[in-house]
A and B are shown apart, each in its own frame.
Chain A
Amino acid sequence: MSAVAESLPFPVPRSRRRWIPYGRIGVALACFALWQFGSYWMGKEWLPGPVATFARIWDLALSAQLFRDSLVTFSEAAAGMILGGVGGAALPFLLRLSPRLLKASEPFLSAAFGVPKLALAPLFILWLGIGIMTKIVFVASIVFFLMFYNGMAGILSVDPRLVAMARVAGASQWQVTRHIVWNTTVPFLFAGLKIALPRAISGAVVGEFIAADSGLGWYINNSRSLNDTVGVLAGVIVVTILVIVVNAVLQRSQARSLAWRPVSRDMVV
């Protein structure tokens, strides 16, 4: 119960928190009911119901195909995330050391941010083929800027008084970065991850729509070409579950590393 309450961005009185899990179950049931109703309304060949969809997911799970395709998509997203995310998060730390370089690179970075990455996908295919590398670079190109701009916001919010205090106390440039700049920036990087991780997964899926021979995006697209709406929907659900799981893991590590922050008071909303 407390885990539920802690994950909320605003304080809720203890007496009302008790109802949150029941409320959530209620909303979930209502969604399934609506889904089932929509399926009757539109016809199940257009919108398969939840039962048919989850039955398919079960079959896929038994045949190990679900595992294989999820792993492919997850690996692409993860590798792209590491490639683009680490680069995007590290760049602000380097730019901080040289205000001149920061000023000089600013227009180029915003121009590069403005390029629609989806439009670059054909180019990536030409360069890298339809293998896993194309999706990794595609994901990296999306994630890089999200992490870069959040990291930059963190760098800009570093308190110069804390830096001065540390310098007077004998901190080297590296120690200032490690102790003051890094700790100030961590919450901003988490905010970046919160947006970037789902984008990384959907980036990998979209990449697989365009060119792939495995992965959840490939499965969805392949089902579509066979007019298999159950397959399409099952694929979408699995992608959603993947995103939810990744988010939950992120939430946990965020809570642990930001434990120092003032907790929300028990005030009445």
Chain B
Amino acid sequence: MALDIETLVDLYRDMWLIRAFEFGLEREFKKGNVPGMLHTGVGQEATQAALAAHLKATDCFFPDHRCHGINALAQEKHQGDGERIMAELFGRATGVCSGKGGSLHSANPRVGNFGDNAVEGSYMATVLGVALAWQMRKQPNVACCIIGDGTVGRGEFHESLNMAAIWKLPVLYACVNNGYAISMPVGKGHASADIVDLARGYGMPCVQVDGNEIELAYAEVARAVDSIRAGNGPYFLEFKTWRWQGLFSGEFRPAEEVRYWKEDRDPIRLARQKIGAQSSLQAADLDRIEAEVVQQIETWIDFAKNSPMPDPAKATADVYVGGEELR
């Protein structure tokens, strides 16, 4: 099932938006303009773009720590202000959480972004409640949680899949298997290197997909989301992919593995080849898309840099709803 060319080009642009966002962010991080820690989603753009394409603002997704891209995409697509994700990462008052969340805690329910949790995958439990509420209200929404392969090691993985299964909750598990959890190879950290093997016992559809082929990822997400909206209960998708970012200390993976994923399996390059083969679009047309997106990201970075810092007095606000008096 081939995608129509307009959709494919849109996804190409989305993937570039994610990559340009991360490249720009990395540059600013190295300059010391972005505080804290930085985990980027470069290499995993097809997975994120496919999810973003099918999740509506009325659905929800719990993004993982490599999800600046999907956060920005959702923010831009549904609200037209992707720059507020950038501003959040810069710790500015104009950010989606006014600088209280940062890279690992950005949320905006109006675009379906229910917030990352830097205790990896804690929202495997939270997603159940959103799904339960929608099930009780008979709303055909999808509650998605995005989890890394390493995160599957948590006990909540079992609790969540089990409860979603017994209650037939509308949960989409999007497992981004990029081969490693920091330095731990997936096959060493789990009883199976294929996470679908671990999920199968819970009786939901478990599908493994090439996370670097945008057409395949897009089609599988569509199937999963349709199934969930139809009331068939939870669905588990495992995206096989690879992250370009090594360790904070540098690259630790074999040179040939790095070359293979960056050159042969780059999701953007693969999409570009596909578009070239299926349409009359020229390399120059695609280069122009890339340049436009890079330019857009630079304006976001400027917006973030020129935004005010939060008022320090806000640091103790909103600890309690209704203040200390608990009104």
Q: Do A and B bind each other?
A: no
